[in-house]
């Protein structure tokens, strides 16, 4: 891959540049820091940010899967690093974006978390219960019925 000399910055130098040039909120920067530091340790201080290709990124995602225990956090690490790398790839070299589509783990919810749909009888009880509050406190019950219908819909 031919990369202009000015764009050949190590991944470790690309991180502060991303923070200074992207329109990232302070809270997002704080969230990204630990994830990007994790990636910096993996890629090293000399690996050029634009030389990290899909194969390198797959290796990093495998590393995340092996070192980050929480499945949800694994996905956050992967998408955060992809976001920063893609920001540079598009702006600095017009390279195609890296993808996390098949790399980020999917969270499987156990069957015990699944529940059957409400029966008509149960729905009737819910709405009758909401109705009594609406009759007693009409000024305080406006949004409850629409919210209830969304919750059971």
Q: H-type helices in the chain, by residue range?
A: 11-21, 26-43, 54-67, 71-88, 120-136, 144-152
Domain count, the chain: 2
**Co-location of 106 and 127 in the same domain:** no
Q: Which domain holds residue 142?
A: 115-152
pTM: 0.65
**Co-location of 86 and 135 in the same domain:** no
Crossing angle (nearest 10°) for helices 71-88 and 54-67: 150
pLDDT at 108: 64
- Three-class secondary structure of residue 10 per DSSP: strand
CA–CA gap between residue 47 and residue 51 (Å, rounded): 7
Q: Which two tokens stand for residue 74?
A: 């694994």
CA–CA gap between residue 2 and residue 5 (Å, rounded): 9
**Co-location of 123 and 97 in the same domain:** no
**Co-location of 47 and 101 in the same domain:** yes
**Co-location of 81 and 147 in the same domain:** no
**Co-location of 101 and 136 in the same domain:** no
Each residue's pLDDT expressed in tens, for the chain with a length of 153 residues: 555 554 678 999 999 999 999 999 999 999 999 999 999 999 998 899 999 999 999 999 999 999 999 998 999 999 999 999 999 899 888 899 998 888 877 766 655 566 677 788 888 888 887 777 777 766 665 555 555 555 554
**Co-location of 34 and 81 in the same domain:** yes
CA–CA gap between residue 87 and residue 33 (Å, rounded): 16
**Co-location of 123 and 104 in the same domain:** no
- Three-class secondary structure of residue 48 per DSSP: strand
pLDDT at 44: 92
**Co-location of 11 and 58 in the same domain:** yes
pLDDT at 16: 93
**Co-location of 23 and 64 in the same domain:** yes
**Co-location of 54 and 101 in the same domain:** yes
pLDDT at 118: 78
**Co-location of 67 and 17 in the same domain:** yes
């Amino acid at each position: 891959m031919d990369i202009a000399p000015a764009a050949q910055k190590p991944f470790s130098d690309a991180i502060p540049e991303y923070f200074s040039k992207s329109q990232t909120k302070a809270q997002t920067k704080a969230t990204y820091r630990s994830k990007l530091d994790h990636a910096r340790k993996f890629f090293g201080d000399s690996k050029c940010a634009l030389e990290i290709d899909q194969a390198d990124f797959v290796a990093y995602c495998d590393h995340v899967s092996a070192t980050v225990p929480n499945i949800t956090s694994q996905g956050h690490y992967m998408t955060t690093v992809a976001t920063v790398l893609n920001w540079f790839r598009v702006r600095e070299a017009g390279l195609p974006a890296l993808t996390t589509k098949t790399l980020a783990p999917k969270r499987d919810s156990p069957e015990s978390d699944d529940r059957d749909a409400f029966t008509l009888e149960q729905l009737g009880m819910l709405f009758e219960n909401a109705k009594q509050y609406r009759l007693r406190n009409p000024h305080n019950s406006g949004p409850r019925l629409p919210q209830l219908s969304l919750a059971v819909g």
